[in-house]
């Protein structure tokens, strides 16, 4: 909205008619999806709600069912032979559907507002290829920062945890179906950074959609308990397994994609003690040891190490 105010004050010039046309001709445009005979922005909003919900539903069940079948059924003896727990799969599916349905109405308001008020753009030529990596970095910084603090506040303040976030932590032993099992307001609060970065700086529509797909895929993958790519720069599945542990585990590893804020704020916990019987887990860690050691030397997981260096 800062940029929109600057536009109103005449500090920057954006042709909203062109932006609206580019938005309506983009393949992702939901305005012609399902309208129920409604015209104008109301019809566009209804179409966006329907498209967002149905796409989220299809993506959730495709990814979660595939991951669950692969890791928990077909290859359980390879990846998770020691994981014998009581899973609340139907509970997670129920809350995932509730979450997707109600959150969709909130998310769609932002989606409809994007072409009208944000700096979303649709042609790479508007800013050039050189700007793409800059926008990626800016988005990750914005998304990681807000998501970390929202997630941490949901655990810090008892009222927020009990009323909202406890739904997600009902499952102490997680499965891919847990990835979307949130109270809708909880999920929306953590999704806001993804949908609002374009109001602060220009971001290409395709890049925005890519980040949305990454967020969905990541939410499923960090609940499978298998550290397939144990790069310590990332917060991968066993980091999140710790986060779901009863007690102090829930006060660790709050980040979204990366471990940066957890390391800076002292809420990081190493995930290596979590191994449900995957024999190649240590081999994967050994392959990435130099990369992880280099990252550790730059941003130690223990704040005391930083103080000692100083």
Share of the chain above pLDDT 90, in %: 80
Q: Which of 226, 241, 276 is the last residue of a domain?
A: 226
pLDDT, tens only, 159-183: 999 999 999 999 889 999 999 999 9
Q: Do 188 and 112 belong to one domain?
A: yes
Answer yes or no: is pLDDT of 10 > 70: no
pLDDT, tens only, 142-158: 999 999 999 999 999 99
Structure tokens at 77: 């003896």
Give the mean pLDDT of 83-90: 90
Residue range(s) defining the domain that contains residue 99: 2-226
Give the mean pLDDT of 277-300: 94
Answer yes or no: is pLDDT of 219 > 90: yes
CA–CA distances in Å: residue 111 to residues 24, 78, 277: 12, 42, 43
Q: How many domains does the chain have?
A: 2
Structure tokens at 247: 């007690």
Phi, then psi, of 277 in degrees rounded to 5: 110, 5
Close Cβ partners of 218 (under 8 Å, ≥ 6 residues apart): 256, 257
Answer yes or no: is pLDDT of 235 > 90: yes
Q: Do 171 and 284 belong to one domain?
A: no
Answer yes or no: is pLDDT of 310 > 60: no
């Amino acid at each position: 909205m800062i940029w929109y105010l600057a536009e109103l004050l005449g500090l920057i010039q954006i042709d909203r008619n062109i932006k609206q046309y580019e938005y309506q001709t983009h393949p992702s445009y939901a305005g012609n999806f399902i309208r129920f005979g409604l015209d104008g922005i109301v019809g566009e909003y209804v179409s966006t709600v329907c498209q967002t919900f149905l796409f989220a539903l299809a993506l959730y069940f495709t990814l979660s069912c595939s991951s669950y079948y692969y890791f928990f059924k077909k290859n359980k003896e390879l990846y998770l032979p020691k994981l014998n727990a009581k899973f609340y799969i139907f509970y997670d599916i129920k809350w995932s559907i509730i979450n997707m349905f109600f959150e969709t109405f909130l998310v769609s308001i932002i989606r409809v507002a994007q072409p009208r008020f944000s700096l979303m753009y649709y042609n790479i030529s508007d800013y050039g290829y050189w700007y793409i990596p800059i926008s990626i970095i800016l988005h990750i910084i914005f998304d990681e920062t807000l998501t970390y603090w929202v997630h941490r506040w949901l655990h810090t303040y008892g009222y927020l945890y009990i009323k909202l976030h406890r739904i997600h932590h009902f499952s102490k032993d997680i499965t891919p179906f847990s990835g979307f099992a949130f109270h809708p307001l909880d999920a929306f609060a953590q999704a806001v950074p993804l949908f609002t970065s374009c109001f602060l700086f220009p971001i290409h529509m395709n890049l925005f959609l890519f980040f949305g797909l990454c967020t969905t895929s990541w939410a499923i993958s960090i609940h499978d308990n298998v550290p397939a790519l144990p790069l310590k720069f990332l917060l991968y599945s066993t980091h999140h397994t710790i986060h779901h542990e009863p007690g102090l585990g829930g006060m660790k590893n709050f980040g979204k994609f990366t471990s940066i804020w957890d390391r800076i704020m002292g809420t990081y916990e190493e995930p290596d003690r979590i191994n449900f019987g995957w024999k190649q887990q240590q081999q994967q860690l050994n392959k990435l040891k130099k990369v992880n050691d280099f990252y550790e030397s730059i941003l130690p997981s223990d704040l005391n190490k930083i103080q000692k260096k100083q």
